[in-house]
Amino acid sequence: MANDARILALNESLALPGGVQIVEGNGGLPKIQIHTASAESEIYLHGAQVTAWKPAGADEVLFVSEKSHWEDGRAIRGGIPVCFPWFRAKADDPKAPAHGFVRTREWKLEALTEEPGGSICAYLSTESDATTRRWWPFEFRLEYRITVGGLLTLELRLKNTGQSALRFEEALHTYFNVGDVERVKVRGLDGAAYLDNRDGNRRRTQTGDLQLSAQTDNAFSGTSGPVGIVDEVLGRTLRTEKRNSGSTIVWNPWRDGAVSMSDFEADEWRRMLCVEGGNILDSAVLLEPQEAHTLTVEISTATKQVQ
């Protein structure tokens, strides 16, 4: 009942007429439900996580595991998790949560607005408190602007609100829905250097399009141009463009990794591929007190291939 009252209060103050409301999602977690002429989408307040985006006339772009956990303190497997302030395991604390702590906490929904052209913008925030200081002793405010329409635009802004400099990693860990991961090509990384996390972070260089044939966890550096997932099965290209991002991460657990994950069906690896913008490893961001940094990722889908 308490959750019903909270959702009702959010709707009374923030819902928009014509298909934008807050509803109870999986596990009773509140989510923003968007249904407009240009797109359908779902955004959970838990982790500020986009879990669905379907532009008008297109298939679903994002993948979410059928075995995902939907509960406070646990990550949602799929969609677009926000990784911050570290990526993968925390280097100096193996007990810290993987990919940071903001993807497993509820964010505050600040506003919902309709933009010119009919896109819907959701504005969410989270900030440092006693819980975050347990893992990371810095003061910050993190703001996330998600614009849903024919494009999906993600703007993650961090402000250092403390008195000392801080260094952080970040990524918008996008799980894309694909027809068959063995029949897609990742285009736009030709000539880029990367660290292969499946081989002790050995440095390699990509040649041509990337085609996966085994478990993959590659962190590409110095990548600022668009990257496309060319999907011959679904007949489309999923295109990612980004700003203020020096890293592109490509990940798929393959069958051997999937079977070890409790929140992942054994055969779901074939229907997903993570290709994400961020700043990790050598591209980690240093912010002085009161400085701010914004990572922007724009996702689009088309039947035409990225050149």
Does the pLDDT at position 305 exceed 60?
no
| Residue 304 pLDDT level (bands cut at 50, 70, 90) | low
Does the pLDDT at position 285 exceed 60?
yes
Q: Is residue 12 part of a domain?
A: yes
DSSP the chain: -HHHHHHHHHHHHH-BTTTEEEEE-GGG-EEEEEE-SSEEEEEETBTTEEEEEEETTS---B-B-TT---STTS--SBSB-EEBS-SSS-TT-TTSPTTBSGGGSBPEEEEEEEPTTS-EEEEEEEE--HHHHHH----EEEEEEEEESSSEEEEEEEEE-SSS-EEE-EEE--EEE-S-GGGEEEES-TT-EEEEGGGTTEEEE--SSB---S-EEEEEES--S-EEEEETTTTEEEEEEEES--EEEEEE-HHHHHTT-TTS-TTGGGGEEEEEEEE-GGG-EEE-TT-EEEEEEEEEEESSPP-
Q: Is residue 35 part of a domain?
A: yes
200: left (phi over 0), alpha (psi -120 to 50) or beta: left
The pLDDT value recorded for residue 85 is: 98
Q: Is residue 253 part of a domain?
A: yes
CB proximity list for 287: less than 8 A, separation 6 or greater: 158, 160, 165, 166, 167, 168, 293
Q: Is residue 40 part of a domain?
A: yes
Contact of 275 with 241, CB cutoff 8 Å = no
The pLDDT value recorded for residue 303 is: 81
CATH number at residue 82: 2.70.98.10
Does the pLDDT at position 307 exceed 50?
no
Q: Is residue 307 part of a domain?
A: no
Q: Is residue 274 part of a domain?
A: yes
| Residue 306 pLDDT level (bands cut at 50, 70, 90) | very low
The pLDDT value recorded for residue 2 is: 67
The percentage of the chain sitting over the pLDDT mark of 70, rounded to a whole number, equals: 98
Average pLDDT over residues 139-146: 98
Q: Is residue 154 part of a domain?
A: yes
Residue holding tokens 């912010």? Answer: 287
This prediction's pTM: 0.96
Positive or negative torsion for Cα 258, 261, 267, 268: negative
Q: Is residue 264 part of a domain?
A: yes
Separation between Cα atoms, residue 106 and residue 177, nearest integer Å: 25
Please state the domain count of the chain. Answer: 1
Range of the domain at 126: 2-302
